[in-house]
Structure 1
Amino acid sequence: MSEQSPRRQRLVVALVALLVTATATVAGVRAASPPKSGTPHTTWAAPQAPPPTAGRLAFGVSYGDTLLFDNDHNLAQGLDDAVALGVRWIRLDLSWEDIQPDTPTGYQWNRFDRVVNAARARGLNLLPTIAYTPSWARSSGCRAGQSCPPANPETFADFAAQAVERYSPKGITTWEIWNEPNIKPFWEPKPDPAAYTRLLAVTTKAIRHVNPRAYLLMGGLAAVGTDKSTGYVSQTAFLAAVSELGANKMVDAISYHPYTYPYLPTDDTTFGTAFQRISTYTSDNLVAILEKYGTPREPVWITETGAPTNGPGAAADGKTIPPNATDVTEAFQAQIATASVTAAANNPHVAAMFWFADRDSGTAADRAFRSKFYGLRHNNGTAKPAFAALQSAIAEYERTRHG
């Protein structure tokens, strides 16, 4: 929940060295590259990484669109939190609407530049999620705001290419294309596997024209059941539909959002939690779909998971689940954080796990909005127990798995 500038040939050697350093730290990052326009582009090279089973699990924090609009203090604290947690990645929106809000010729890269520079100064890798359509680029028939797909996918692809052109020299080689395209709130007026595949096809081609070795993720799939009344298509049904059209072979990894609350991600249930549906729940799982369509070793990046606290309803505590439960206690959120690391580390198909989010965006007055309370910190900056729990779990993983 987005800016541009080609480089001269004389900088290639130094920039390639920067890319090697930035990408060699994490398993699962391979490569890829953008544009599609007729102008020449610099080619950026990054090393191939081993498959996820052969390397270190990557950890990150997912911030949505918050960092771009934080003041200097909150931006610094948010990124310092990532360092303190022991993660090496941050995921944030590269919103097309933020960068080109008004016209196809005007760009506002400054906010994203600021975050990129601050993150790279701390040694953090960035996973930008390229998404969200400005009003001038939407179909005239779509009235749902930035979640409308672009009227012309090529226009979106060209924007993605310019972003890759701009940020490859800063060491950004990994990109996610759209967010939760399988649910109505993020693809209006309803999910459309064919339309998303068309967008993915032209965008991956454009990106790899700029950086042939960029590492590309399919847009993060929401873990939901198919429900026509809400405009939801399940993660497996959507993945099967786009893979039938070849989308799984256009990317290096798929992205997935397995929120499991009010259950633990390590729970073994008869109905199948979102974590179980990665690979262990009967045949209705993501890996089974990837195997069916010819990419059995394609890794899964968990680019969002977590649990909300302090929401509008009763809170599950890990022992009981009230009938109107909408969130979890802070103590149970901490248990979920620990179990998320365990579940991801024990699944050989998972290459990365990002926690959403760093800080609550709501206060007590916003209790009706569960989405505002996924943070490891309260809105006032004080840490919830989940912060220390996630920090400890990541440290234990690094100690026991990698010395």
Structure 2
Amino acid sequence: MARLLRVLALSALVATTLGLVEAPAAATETGRFGLVWIHPPSGVASADRLARASALGAKWDRFPFYWNEVQPNGDNQWQYGTYDARVAANRANGIQTQGILLGAPGWATQSGRIDEGKWAEYVRQTVTRYRDSVRYWEVWNEPDLLDGSGKGLFWPYSVADYASLLRVTYLTINAVDPSITVLMGAIAFPYNNEGFLGQLLAEIAKDPAAKANGFYFDVLPFHSYDRVARLYDLPLGYMGRPSYEGLHAALRRHGISKPLWVNEFGVPIWDSGDGKKAPGRATQDEQAAYAIQASAYALAAGIERVFFFQLYDDGAGAVDPSTGRPAEYFGLVSNDGQARPAYVAYRHAIQLMDGARLVTRVNTGRSVVDDGLKGVETITLYGTPRGKVTIVWSADGGQPATRKLKASSTGATVLDKSGAAKGTIAAVDGAYTLTLPAATNNNNFDCYTSHGCDPDDYIIGGDPVILVESDTSVPSAAISPLPTASNAPFEVKWRSLSGSASPRFDVQVMDSVEGVWRDWLTNTQATSARFGEGQQKLQRGRTYEFRVRARDAAGNLLGADYPPNGMASTLVAGGNVLSSSNIDARIEIVWPHGNQPVSKADKVNIASYLFSRDSTVSVGPNWDVMPRLYRSINDGPEEQVAVATKRLTTVNGLTVPVFEFNDVDVSAARDPRNRIFFHVGMGSRHTESNTWSHAVDSRTYFPKTDVPTAVLATAPAEVDAKVQIVWPHGGASVDKADKANVVAYLFERGTKKSVPTGFAPAVRLYRSIDNGVEEEVAVGQMMLKKEGSLTFPTWVFNDVDVSAARDPNHRVYFRVMVDNTTHYSNVWAHAQDARTYFPNQDVPTGVLP
């Protein structure tokens, strides 16, 4: 991968017996932003270079203290000259140093392993020397990263060996000064060794003394390149190819909770010098957008420190093998001293974001079906020195996107990614409407995988639009960040920002398509709950936004009210969701044109509701999967005849959708010998529906049983599933029968060719009574039957309850469904009089979120 090529090129620049790290930069004691390599790898930064770093507002510098340089000969001579100068220069410029301990000289390895006693002495000497100046130490760099042959690039030893080195380092530093912070070696995940962190945490957890010693690290850092959303998704988890539980969840599985840092992030440019366009690279303009977006994502994910890689190019990056020249450049400043647009953008990010008291993120417009549709990102910073700052960008290519935001003020200043004022925007009806440029960088790494290049996969969003409002208030409570996508149910957490000892909370939720805030929890002392549990089924593919406010015990607000926009969001990808398998589709009325009787009507209009399974709770007004109408005539299999149009209506104060099928042909029923049956589906053959019969007399009289004309050798793609007979026990009449045996045949769609005798899928019998939705009542037992020279399978359902039909006011309908096969059933009506008389229409009692 390109990342690996970059690291390989970089390791060649700094000589060490192991292949040493090109390390990134650090942040200030109070600041959250830093740099990698303020100083050049070969020496100490010039005054001009240090001034460039200071002018950014970056407060950290990250670089390695190579053991083989500090103690090259194995004697007691320690050579810290260059490192002393770097640390002193940083301190003089108000920049903290985050050091990296790494690089074993040849004399300090035995049998292919580092001598931990000698390593501990190097750690003790180094940490003690800089005890007053360097308070943060990292143990190695990217111990998980593999080279092209599958061996560790920076850490060539085992996971257990690294766990042991981490333990020795932590205990050694703790003995020098327990207030010094120890960082695990930053992981390069997810580049090419995804299992490393889990294996390492499991190895650490085996140590009975680990918990008492903080599991031998204080901070988990990671590195993030190229794909900007990775800074948000890695901490919280993501769903994709493959999915990942998230760094916080990986820690929790082992009983560990640690803050996260990103002490390398960046994207190399190709439109400078000898650069070449390739996956993972950007233009200078795109790198500037990346600097803003990555910084915002990191803060929204709750990351404590972020360090941009790197200040100058310094030669780090992939090399074009045909020329031996650099093919990409990471620097905010070129080696000849020219500040790039990303330098200005990163400075702007630090000025806007550092010191924010609360950062929230909402994504809207993302698709669960189309991986390439990532939607619009909205990241809001409260309590900044400039007021409320909102950063918005489109994550999709193609056409510009639109985002409407509720306003906190009557107007806002509009800034671009460089910090330049582009004018002001006035709130119209309390909202701003923004037009967002499309993303342009689809140089994704899928080109290096089996998935292949995806031109719709954009790794950096379009130019961000930044709004600055004068509102200096901070919400009284906050929702914790949520993963970009979740399976329902999922946990939502919140906390008070008011300082009150025992706050109470109101939590609201909004389906971002519906756009209406609804109370979820009120006056609760809980600080978390699961959303979408049990009967609270959610809609797959919908984004749910959350916001919260805090009150005291008397009900008084503890500070500001709800913010005007969401504070966290997640896209529901699956789980406990509404779908065709848990929706009741109910036909409410079949209305002949002109109110004509069945014997004269040619066309009808049909209306239906969709309810949550076994309830009269309607789907929401924004339900966007249109039901389909299926019709069967006499003993024939069903066929789709219409797709619904949606109309909103108000019933008992509830706004609900009604789904209508207009101008449906029913002329066949003018002949009293014909019967028409309707039911509604959602495109899945297992949607539960009621059955509506439309006929002068719709009782099923014993039709002639179908006779197969052939038996197929292989299973067909689609089948006609036909009930052939409903035979009451003892030949009893409908008004006396309690039980019946039902027989079904399966044919290739549109033919009389039977499925083969080895047909495996389960065949199920569904029954509906009157206007009720159908339910499964039996699984068929396959029995072979012989007709002439053909032997074919039939499915028998014995002892099926039909007692409801003994009452002349009740009607029983049967249909057949086939597992994992597209199928079309006929309808069998069992009743003394199976015509549908106008039933009482259902009245919705609620609306789903």
Find the counterpart in structure 2 of residue 331 from structure 1: 285
Partner of 1:42: none
Contact 1:63–1:91, Cα closer than 8 Å, also in 2: yes
Contact 1:225/1:234 (CA < 8 Å) preserved in 2?
Answer: no
Q: Secondary structure at the match of 1:172?
A: coil
Task: Give the Cα separation in 2 of the matches to 1:218 and 1:139.
Answer: 24
- The answer on whether the counterparts of 1:313 and 1:326 sit within 8 Å (CA) in structure 2 is no
Q: 1:225 to 1:125 in 2, by over 3 A?
A: closer
The 1:82/1:371 distance shift into structure 2, 3 A limit, reads farther
Q: Distance in 1 between matches of 2:157 and 2:114?
A: 15
Match of 1:216 in 2: 182
Report which of the two has the higher share of helix. Answer: 1
Q: 1:62 aligns with which of 36, 44, 50?
A: 36
- After superposition, the C-alpha distances for 1:44-69 in whole angstroms (9 at most, x for unaligned) are xxxxxxxxxxxxx61110118x5352
Take 2:316 and 2:306, find their aligned partners in 1: how far apart are those partners?
27
RMSD: 2.9
Q: Name the SS for the 2:269 alignment partner.
A: coil
Amino acid at match of 2:342: A
Distance 1:364 1:370, change over 3 A: closer
Please name the residue that 1:25 is paired with.
Answer: 29
User: In 2, distance between residues paired with 1:24 and 1:82?
Assistant: 12
Q: Distance in 2 between matches of 1:138 and 1:387?
A: 42
Q: Which has the larger radius of gyration?
A: 2
Equivalent pair of 2:28/2:34 in contact (CA under 8 Å)? no
Amino acid paired to 1:125:
Q
Look up the equivalent residue of 2:29 and give its one-letter code.
T
Q: Residues 121 and 115 from structure 1, CA distance in 2 versus in 1: closer, same or farther, beyond 3 angstroms? A: same
Is 1:352 paired with 2:305? yes
Q: Which has the higher contact order (CA 8 A, sep 6+)?
A: 1
2:332 is aligned to 376
Matched, 1:388 2:351: no
Q: Percent identity?
A: 27
Quote the Cα distance in structure 1 between the aligned partners of 2:268 and 2:384. Answer: 31
The offset of 1:123, in angstroms, is 1.2
CA distance in 2, matches of 1:167, 1:189: 25
Determine the structure 2 residue equivalent to 1:174. 136
Structure 2 Cα separation of the partners of residues 244 and 218 of structure 1:
15
Cα distance, 1:255 vs structure 2: 1.0
CA–CA separation in structure 2 for the residues paired with 1:365 and 1:205: 37
Q: Which runs of 5+ in 1 are unaligned?
A: 2-22, 27-56, 142-149, 227-231, 266-272, 316-323
| Residue 108 of structure 2 corresponds to residue 112 of structure 1 | no
Q: Distance in 2 between matches of 1:81 and 1:151?
A: 39
Whether the 8 Å CA contact 2:143–2:155 is kept in 1: the answer is no
Deviation for aligned residue 1:258: 1.6
Q: Which amino acid aligns with 2:251?
A: L
Cα separation, partners in 2 of 1:117 and 1:134, compared to 1, 3 Å: same
Q: Find 1:195's aligned residue among 143, 161, 166.
A: 161
Q: Aligned pair in 2 of structure 1 residues 366, 165: CA closer, same or farther (>3 Å)?
A: same
Give the equivalent residue in structure 1 for 2:127. 164
SS of residue paired to 2:131:
helix
Amino acid at match of 2:170: T
Aligned residues: 316
Q: CA deviation at 1:215?
A: 0.7
* Secondary structure class of the residue paired with 1:224: coil
Amino acid at match of 1:80: A
Shift of the alpha carbon at 1:243? 4.5
1:340 matched to which residue of 2?
A: 294
Distance 2:315 2:262 in 1: 24
Is 1:256–1:303's contact at 8 Å kept on the other side of the alignment? yes
Tell me what 1:9 maps to.
none
CA distance in structure 2 between the partners assigned to 1:364 and 1:173 by the alignment: 29
| 1:88-124 Cα shifts (integer Å, max 9, x gaps) | 1111111111211222422111110000111100111
Matched with 1:184 is 146
Give the AA of the match of 2:128. Answer: E
How many Å separate the matches in 2 of 1:192 and 1:353? Answer: 28
C-alpha distance in structure 2 between counterparts of 1:198 and 1:164, whole Å: 19
State the partner residue of 2:651: none
CA distance in 1, matches of 2:318, 2:190: 28
Q: Encode CA deviations 1:99-154: one digit per residue, 9 max, x unaligned.
A: 1122242211111000011110011111001111112113454xxxxxxxx52122
Name the CA distance, whole Å, in 2 between partners of 1:275 and 1:116. Answer: 31
User: Would you say 1:310 and 2:264 are equivalent positions?
Assistant: no
Confirm or deny: 8 A CA contact 1:191 1:233 kept in the other structure: no
Name the SS for the 2:270 alignment partner.
coil
1:250 and 2:213 aligned: no
Query: Partner of 2:46: helix, strand, or coil?
Result: helix
The superposition leaves residues 306-350 of structure 1 with CA deviations (integer Å, 9 ceiling, x where unpaired) of 0111387753xxxxxxxx4252111111111111110111012x1
Deviations 1:168-213 (A, max 9, x none): 13x2211111100112356567452211010011111111111121
Letter in 1 for 2:288: A
Q: Which amino acid aligns with 1:285?
A: G
In 2, are the aligned partners of 1:223 and 1:274 still within 8 Å (CA)? no
Change (3 A) 1:357 1:190: same
Match of 1:137 in 2: 108
Cα deviation, 1:248-289, whole Å, max 9, x if unaligned, reads 721111111021x1x333xxxxxxx46412113255211101
Residues 231 and 298, structure 2, Cα contact 8 Å, conserved in 1: no
TM, length-normalised to structure 1: 0.71
Q: Distance in 2 between matches of 1:24 and 1:338?
A: 19
Partner Cα distance (1:309, 1:389) in 2: 15
Structure 2: which amino acid aligns with 1:278? P
Q: Tell me if the contact between 1:61 and 1:89 (Cα under 8 Å) persists in the aligned partners.
A: yes
- Kept in 1, the 8 Å contact 2:269–2:275? The answer is no
Which residue is equivalent to 2:234? 277
Unpaired runs of 5+ in structure 2? 1-10, 12-26, 357-382, 386-849
CA distance, structure 1, for counterparts of residue 74 and residue 165 of structure 2: 21
Shift of 1:242: 4.3
Quick one: structure 1 residues 363 and 211, their matched pair in 2 at CA, closer, same or farther if it must change by over 3 Å? closer
Q: Which residue does 2:260 correspond to in 1? A: 300
Distance 1:177 1:139 in 2: 20
**Distance in 1 between the 2:169 and 2:317 partners?**
41
**Amino acid aligned to 1:83:** S
Aligned partner of 1:289 in structure 2 is 250
Contact 2:259 2:304 in 1 (8 A): yes
Aligned match for 1:264, one of 215, 228, 234: 228
Q: Is the contact between residue 267 and residue 280 of structure 2 (CA under 8 Å) also seen in structure 1?
A: no
Task: Give the letter aligned to residue 108 of structure 1.
Answer: Q
SS of aligned partner of 1:175:
strand
- Given residue 228 of structure 2, which amino acid in structure 1 is its aligned partner? L
Distance 1:313 1:377, change over 3 A: closer
8 Å Cα contact 2:37/2:63 also seen in 1 = yes
Residue 66 of structure 2 aligns to which amino acid in structure 1?
S
Do 1:130 and 1:178's aligned partners in 2 also have CA atoms closer than 8 Å?
A: yes
Contact 1:310 1:327 in 2 (8 A): yes
- The alpha-carbon deviation at position 351 of structure 1 amounts to 0.7
Contact 2:70 2:78 in 1 (8 A): yes
Distance, in Å, in 2 between the alignment partners of 1:180 and 1:383 is 29
- C-alpha displacement of 1:378: 1.2
Q: Is the Cα contact below 8 Å between 1:357 and 1:375 reproduced in 2?
A: yes
Aligned: 1:96 with 2:67: yes
TM-score by length of 2: 0.35
Q: Output the amino acid matched with 1:136.
A: W
Instruction: Look up the equivalent residue of 2:298 and give its one-letter code.
Output: A
